[in-house]
Amino acid sequence: MDLSVEIAGLRLRNPVLAAAGTFGYGVEFEDIVEIARLGGIVTKGLSCEPRSGNAGLRLFETSAGMLNSIGVQNMGIPAFLETRLPRLRRLGVLVIVNVYGESVEEYVRAVEMLNEGEGIAAYEINASCPNTRAGGELFASDPAPLAQLTAAVKAVTRRPIWIKLSPNVTRIGELARAAEAAGADALSLVNTFLGMAIDVHTRRPRFANRIAGLSGPAIKPLAVRLVYEAHQAVGLPIIGLGGIASGEDAVEFLLAGASAIQVGTANFWDPKATESVLRGLEKFCRQRGIPAVRLLTGALENAPPGESEPPV
Ligand X SMILES: Cc1cc2nc3c(=O)[nH]c(=O)nc-3n(C[C@H](O)[C@H](O)[C@H](O)COP(=O)(O)O)c2cc1C
276: phi > 0 → left, psi -120 to 50 → alpha, else beta; which? Answer: alpha
Residue of 13, 77, 4, 68 whose CA lies nearest to 46? 77
Minimum CB separation of residue 293 from ligand X in Å reads: 19
- φ/ψ of 198, rounded to 5, equals -125, 135
Task: Name the residue with the smallest CB distance to ligand X.
Answer: 21
Residue 82: is it exposed, middle or buried by C-beta count within 10 angstroms (0-12/13-18/19+)?
exposed
Minimum CB separation of residue 122 from ligand X in Å reads: 13
Closer CB to ligand X, 215 or 297, in the complex: 215
Closer CB to ligand X, 53 or 290, in the complex: 53
| Beta strands, E only, the chain | 5-7, 10-12, 16-18, 40-42, 59-62, 65-68, 95-99, 122-126, 161-164, 186-189, 193-196, 198-199, 204-205, 211-215, 238-240, 260-263
Q: Catalytic pick from 17, 27, 129, 149?
A: 129
Closer CB to ligand X, 48 or 241, in the complex: 241
**Interatomic CA distance for residues 214 and 193, integer angstroms:** 5
Minimum CB separation of residue 225 from ligand X in Å reads: 14
Residue of 107, 118, 123 whose CA lies nearest to 40? 123
Q: Are 301 and 310 in contact (CB under 8 A)?
A: yes
Minimum CB separation of residue 100 from ligand X in Å reads: 6
Minimum CB separation of residue 193 from ligand X in Å reads: 8
- φ/ψ of 281, rounded to 5, equals -65, -45
Closer CB to ligand X, 142 or 290, in the complex: 142
Where on the chain is the footprint of ligand X (CB under 6 A)?
19-22, 44-45, 66, 68, 70, 72, 98, 126, 164, 191-192, 215-216, 219, 241-244, 264-265
User: In the annotation, is 285 catalytic?
Assistant: no
Closer CB to ligand X, 81 or 241, in the complex: 241
- List residues with catalytic annotation: 129
